[in-house]
Amino acid sequence: MEVKPSIVFAESVYMTEEAIKRLSNAAKVVWAECESEKELIETLNREKAKVVVSEYFPITARLMDSVPSLRGVVVYGVGYDHIDIEAASERGIYVANARGANAESVAEHVFTMILALSRKIFQAHSFVKEGKWRKREESSLPKSLTPSDLKGKTIGIIGFGAIGSRVGAIAKCFGMRVLVYDPYVPVEKVKNAGAEQVSLETLMKSSDYVTLHCVLSDETRGMIGERELKLMKPTAYLINASRGGVIVEEALIRALRENWIAGAGLDVFAEEPLKPDNPLLRMDNVILSPHIAGGSREALDNVSLTVCEEALRIIRDEVPVNLVNRRQLKTKGYRV
């Protein structure tokens, strides 16, 4: 009897019935839900796992060295800052993600925040609910409730991959000017999208809305700090649905307190969940959500199927389509 290769899920994540069926036809699927690295290593070795799927569970060099059967790591989602990419590349281990699978969900969430901020939705809602709306005349309303149109405004997109480019497409529908900062994307791609490739400094200075769509890496960690925030217009808003560590949170809190910028929409944070004493929780010029931008039902279905496909490619000894460490593996002489 042929022994199926094993695919271990480090955490409990949503997978469609179709995805589970396809995985089960080709492999033994194990739901580990481990509390510690030691426990996960034991599970991976017991199952002689070829693939581990991780949403947030750290996949370290020590784990890789402890599991000789491991050939690939599949990220449940897009962000891979919890995976030691260099260690995986040195050991010839594929790291794949579900790039693009939740792009629509994140892009729509970003624009939900942009519209809520520009139209003063939460302030207007509270104004009515608190019984402050006593006169029908518009002139009787406080200026703090005056909304702004998006048409003619400038949006600056940092990171122009699947999500960033979708945000840009939506922005064009609103009649916005689109600026892009992404040193890894060809100028032609940006131009074809009707956007302008600019420096980070120009983007921060010129944009009415700045939205972040880059992975968290050594290069991007803390890339938006005091200097960058002070470049922004006092009427501008900052949106982050990528990773909290891209922004220096202490600098952002100061920027919001001292009105360097008008406000922010945040779906991700330096530490998640937020601690009860985090100043962001007490600010009126901030919209917060609990890291759900990429979590629509449709997005989860897409992520599920993409994770399934990438895991199956690895157990068939094929190169993943959404290979995160392609450049590193190629440099080290591995097949990509």
In whole angstroms, give the CA distance from residue 304 to residue 278. Answer: 33
The secondary structure of 160-190 as a DSSP string is -SHHHHHHHHHHHHTT-EEEEE-TTS-HHHH
* 77 in Cβ contact with 55 (< 8 Å): yes
In whole angstroms, give the CA distance from residue 128 to residue 120. Answer: 12
85: nearest Cα among 74, 72, 95: 95
Identify the three-state secondary structure at position 82: coil
Active-site entry in 71, 99, 166, 243: 243
In whole angstroms, give the CA distance from residue 169 to residue 42. Answer: 46
Active-site entry in 18, 39, 201, 272: 272
Long-range contacts formed by 54-59: CB under 8 A, 24+ apart:
54/10, 54/11, 54/82, 54/83, 55/10, 55/11, 55/13, 56/11, 56/82, 57/10, 57/11, 57/82, 58/82, 58/83, 59/10, 59/83, 59/84, 59/88
Cβ neighbours for 53, distance < 8 A, ≥ 6 positions apart: 7, 8, 9, 10, 13, 73, 74, 75, 76, 307, 311
* 126 in Cβ contact with 178 (< 8 Å): no
Identify the three-state secondary structure at position 21: helix
Identify the three-state secondary structure at position 329: helix
Active-site entry in 62, 119, 291, 326: 291
243 is catalytic: yes
In whole angstroms, give the CA distance from residue 90 to residue 85. Answer: 9
In whole angstroms, give the CA distance from residue 66 to residue 289. Answer: 37
Q: Are strands 154-158 and 49-54 parallel, antiparallel or unpaired?
A: unpaired
Cβ neighbours for 9, distance < 8 A, ≥ 6 positions apart: 29, 30, 31, 32, 33, 52, 53, 76
291 is catalytic: yes
The residues assigned a catalytic role are 243, 272, 291
